[in-house]
Structure 1
Amino acid sequence: MAVPVRFWIACMVFFTTFTCYTTRVNLSVSIVSMTKGKTKGVPYCKKSTDNVSDSSNGTEQPHVLPDYGPRYEWDERIQGSLLGAYFYGYIFTNLAAGLIAEYFGPFKVILLVHIVATVINTLCVLAVKIHWSALFLCRLLLGMGGALVYPALQVLIAFWAPPQEKGKFISALMGNVLGTCITWPIVGVVTTYLGWDWGFYVVSIENLMFCIVFYLLVTDTPETHRWIKPEEANFIKESQAGTVTRKKVIAPYKELFKNLPYWMLMLCHVANEWGLYLQLTLVPKFISDVIGFDLSQAGGLSALPPLMRMTFGLILGAIADEILKREIFSKKVVRKSYTVLSHILPGLMLIAISFVGCSWIPVIVLLTFSLGFNGACVQNILINAQDLAPNFSGTIYAINSFFAGMTGFIVPALNGEFTKDHNGIVEWGYTFILGGVVYCLGGIIWILLGSVEEQSFNRFGDPAP
């Protein structure tokens, strides 16, 4: 029995998010080998058991930095700006991303973004030699392109996924996690042996390979695919029962913004990103600076929660599809029960972290399963736009991402305020408690007021010029 073409489309959804994140996260590793280091203080949880210094006279011994290439005098402010540049660009183009994807089609958008990313990521090596602001501009442009990818994937999924298989397609969006976890060690190894410039080149080569495969395997719709059998194309079209149009239309924004289920999805999305950014951006620092693991240990432990999230997301998405296919429970019951797993349970686990102190084993377990269970979001924030309005799922996801993405700046800023005077368990506890409360409130609001039914504005929309 031949493998259906839509299986390969789902695989390419996975590898699109995988590849997109390689250029998103590679600088997090490379910047360590590009800058002159700064000695850190003793972690909070080590102060009572370890000596503050390794020398007999109480002073820290200088160390020679490995030669990975030229190093630059970038202070914490500059490094923070460089690491944040991608997200500034991401926010900048988010609002228009859905409209762009729906008008031009997901194939052109995704392919062009990755071609441009290949070029710009390679130019980062030259930009560094000019001035750090040139690297900032490159990262800003990468973020502007990256913001177009997920709305375009929502449009691609709307065209290709039969309703009973959408859970599997949406679960494929978890490829970003694997992209992160593989990029960090690969860039680290390549940098160690070849220098930090090759940390950029290897990512560009991977992007180029992706572009070739994507061009050969993907089209906007089943009807335009060069290898699909008519039976499969007809099956996809008939299963969608007229909910997805092939015409170019502009979203009815007035009807969208008047729609209560849309706003409930927005709140649920913001709550999810709050907790997600907390764990993906702050947990490595917490494990290293507060719990007291060294950088290599912190990196390995920090990878456990994202890997658990991807695993749970893929498994739970497949389980949900099977439940809906067999009509064991209704779509409403599945979506809302999964929200208990994706929001409320992770929120309670984050709150619990503030009560376990410096006991690192329960801290790691709670962090790992908190982010792991969040993988169930494949059945709410990642798929609900398809429920409400598959014709405008790209627009819905893009607008939600614009507001939810702001938590990427808000969460670190709040944590900085909490820990500016003292970087201890109590102060970090405020960050975890607040994150847990936001998680839980977002989930509860969506369970009570969210919807899984197609909304009337899905059949509206003005013809595109």
Structure 2
Amino acid sequence: MATVVELNPTSEKSEFVLGTAVNKTPPRKVLSLCSMRYGIAFIAHFCNFTLIAQNSIISITMVAMVNNTNHLPHLNSSAGLNGDQHEASKHLSIKGTGYGGQFALWQRWAPPNERSRLCTIAMSGMTLGIFTVLLVGGIISEALGWPFVFYIFGGIGVLSCLLWFILVYDDPVSHPWISDPEKEYILSSLNQQFSIEEQPLPIKAMLKSLPLWSMCLCSITHQWLVNTFIIYTPTYISSVFKVNIRDNGFLSSLPFFAAWVFGILGGQLADFLLNKNFRLITVRKIITILGNIPPAALIVALPYVQSSYITTIIFLTLSCALCSLCQAGVYINALDIAPRYASLLMGTSRGFAHSSAVLVPVVAGFFLNQDSEFGWRNFFFVLFAINLLGLIIYLVFGKADIQEWARERKLTRL
């Protein structure tokens, strides 16, 4: 026996009552910023801030560790830097699955016309975390010692966990503090069914799904660009301009502050285009193009403008900022094509995507060690080619409608 609850967003509102649906007149839209759904988005923002900050700590502290001759007397700067970058890549890759769980929330918390902005508010915490670590990591390392960077952000992680456990619930129905109008608004907006019994995972159909594969591959190639920023922005600025760790942290943080702002604005832009009757797949692909081609092109141009300090910083900042637009594009595409499996798909795709955190230092080390004069240029050209390949695959095969294998099956009593 199984009970299925269907929500009809077009004509009637559905309310959960003991596993059945009671239909009423749909409520009007409730306030946004003071609502529980936006509160959860900001809590997720803080948790993502903590998660990526802890991952990114080593990208700035490695400069202090390498320069500290008391800790590394037997290593030269180049060897120590390459080793620490490899450690940074491992930390980035093992946390890939940490991002997927929150997408199960948006399946039940995010009305379709607010999905892009809610998701990007949550995900933009990642770039804010990188910005903060790069900004204050060097200062803390110089003032207190590099181990205190780990202690401080570890404590912030404990606080974010407490907030998550206390304030975040699976769905609006189970949340004890949500207002009735907001609960009714969310439930009436969701065009999906919630079955009490779990349905078997359609593994074969998923493996044959070109839209799913295109989403995963584009995420991997775009994450190659993201990991290049995270791991190599401090290194590039330090090698080109010979600045100390305090200045390096400040200069390295500027692109990620811009990315934080653009990431949130990207969600607003996506929902704006949807409200202007753009097709959902068109919006996802436009945003994904803007988050891939311009950033990669600006990165390729860096070796040709490195004689200009100001131009280099501007290019880095614009590239990193535009890169974050993909948060409202390919990165939330799983909620479009398979909302019931969004958590699994996002966790898996992000896990695969962070494999680039292992490959980026390997490829970069090969080019930088082989040719010190043209190493950065060749490395950036490879980055552009990889990024373009993933984007083309997504543009050809990407979809935004719920796939057949991801549709809710109507369960009946036998």
TM-score, structure 2 normalization: 0.82
Report the equivalent of 1:171: 120
Q: CA deviation at 1:409?
A: 1.8
Structure 1 residue 18 corresponds to structure 2 residue 52: no
Query: Which AA in structure 2 matches 1:331?
Result: L
1:297 corresponds to: 247
State which of 90, 93, 100 in structure 2 corresponds to 1:151: 100
Where in structure 2 are the equivalents of 1:168-207 lying within 5 Å?
168-172=117-121, 173-207=123-157
**What is residue 341 of structure 1 aligned with on the other side?**
290
How many percent of aligned residue pairs carry the same amino acid? 26
The structural deviation recorded for 1:79 is 7.0
| Letter of the structure 1 residue corresponding to residue 400 of structure 2 | V
The answer as to whether partners of 1:313 and 1:375 remain within 8 angstroms in 2 is yes
Whether 2:291 is the aligned partner of 1:260: answer: no
SS at match of 2:236: helix
Aligned letter for 2:311?
P
Structure 1 SS opposite 2:178: coil
Is residue 68 of structure 2 the alignment partner of residue 37 of structure 1?
yes
Matched, 1:390 2:339: yes
Q: Is the 8 A contact 2:138 2:246 kept in 1?
A: no
- Which string of whole-angstrom CA distances, capped at 9 and with x for unpartnered residues, describes residues 296-345 of structure 1? 33322221222211111101211221332x33422122112112211122
* CA distance in 1 between partners of 2:141 and 2:367 (Å): 35
Query: Deviation digits for residues 102-138 of structure 1, max 9, x if unmatched?
Result: xxxxxxxxxxxxxxxxxxxxxxxxxxxxxxxxxxxxx
Give 1:222 deviation, angstroms.
1.2
SS at match of 1:382: helix
Q: 1:9 is aligned with what amino acid?
A: I
**Change over 3 Å in CA distance of 1:261–1:74 after alignment to 2:** farther
Question: Does the CA contact (< 8 Å) of 1:174 and 1:310 recur in 2?
Answer: yes
Matched, 1:235 2:266: no
Structure 2 gaps of 5+ residues are 1-29
Matched, 1:456 2:404: yes
Tell me: CA distance 1:26–1:418, structure 2 relative to 1, closer, same or farther (3 Å): closer
Report 1:297-316 matches (<5 A): 297-316=247-266
Contact 2:240 2:306 in 1 (8 A): no
Deviation at 1:410, TM superposition (A): 1.5
Please state if 1:410 is matched with 2:410: no
- Mark the runs of 5 or more structure 1 residues left unpaired by the alignment: 39-64, 66-70, 92-142
Alpha carbons of structure 1 residues 189 and 362: separation in structure 2 relative to 1, 3 Å: closer
The 5 A counterparts of 1:28-427 are 28-33=59-64, 37=68, 71=71, 73=73, 75=75, 84-85=86-87, 87-88=89-90, 91=93, 143=94, 146-172=95-121, 173-242=123-192, 248-324=198-274, 326-424=275-373, 426-427=374-375
Give 1:320's aligned amino acid.
Answer: A
Residue number in structure 2 paired with 1:55: none
Aligned partners of 1:347 and 1:439 also within 8 Å: yes
Q: Would the aligned equivalents of 2:47 and 2:161 in 1 still touch at CA under 8 Å?
A: no
Identify the range of structure 1 (256-265 vs 80-89) with the bigger mean alpha-carbon deviation: 80-89
Verify the 8 A CA contact 2:295 2:322 in the aligned structure 1: yes
Match for 1:362: what amino acid?
A: T
Over 3 Å counting, the alpha-carbon distance change for 1:25 and 1:340 in structure 2 is closer
Q: Distance in 2 between matches of 1:188 and 1:279?
A: 17
Q: TM-score, normalised by structure 1?
A: 0.73
Residue 408 to residue 314, structure 1, CA distance change in 2 (3 Å): same
Letter aligned with residue 343 of structure 2? G
CA RMSD of aligned residues (A): 2.7
CA distance in 2, matches of 1:74, 1:393: 48
8 Å CA contact 1:343, 1:442 repeated in 2 = no
Q: Which amino acid aligns with 2:255?
A: P
2:5 is aligned to none
Q: What is the CA–CA distance in structure 1 between the aligned matches of 2:157 and 2:306, rounded to whole Å?
A: 42
Distance in 2 separating the partners of 1:222 and 1:310: 28
Partner AA of 1:398 in structure 2? G
Per-residue CA shift, 1:266-321, capped at 9, x if unaligned? 22111101111122212221121134333333322221222211111101211221
Query: Is the contact between residue 339 and residue 376 of structure 1 (CA under 8 Å) also seen in structure 2?
Result: yes
Q: Conserved in 1, the CA contact under 8 Å of 2:60 and 2:234? A: no
- One-letter amino acid matched to 1:8: G
Residue 40 of structure 2 aligns with which residue?
Answer: 9
- Report deviation, 1:197: 4.1
Change (3 A) 1:375 1:200: closer
Give distance in 2, aligned partners of 1:434 and 1:34: 29
Aligned-pair CA distance for 1:13: 1.3
Asked if 2 retains the 8 angstrom alpha-carbon contact of 1:308 and 1:372, the reply is: yes
Equivalent residues of 1:268, 1:443 under 8 A apart = yes
**Inter-CA distance 419–35: structure 2 relative to 1 (3 Å threshold):** closer
Partner of 2:389: 441
Compared CA separation, residues 243 and 174, structure 1 to 2 (3 A): farther
Give per-residue Cα distances to partners, 1:210-269, cap 9 Å, x unaligned. Answer: 223222211111111111123322322221111565654553221111111111112211
Range with bigger deviation, 288-297 or 273-282: 288-297
Question: Kindly tell me: are residues 79 and 369 of structure 1, through their superposed partners in 2, closer, same or farther at Cα, counting changes over 3 Å?
Answer: closer
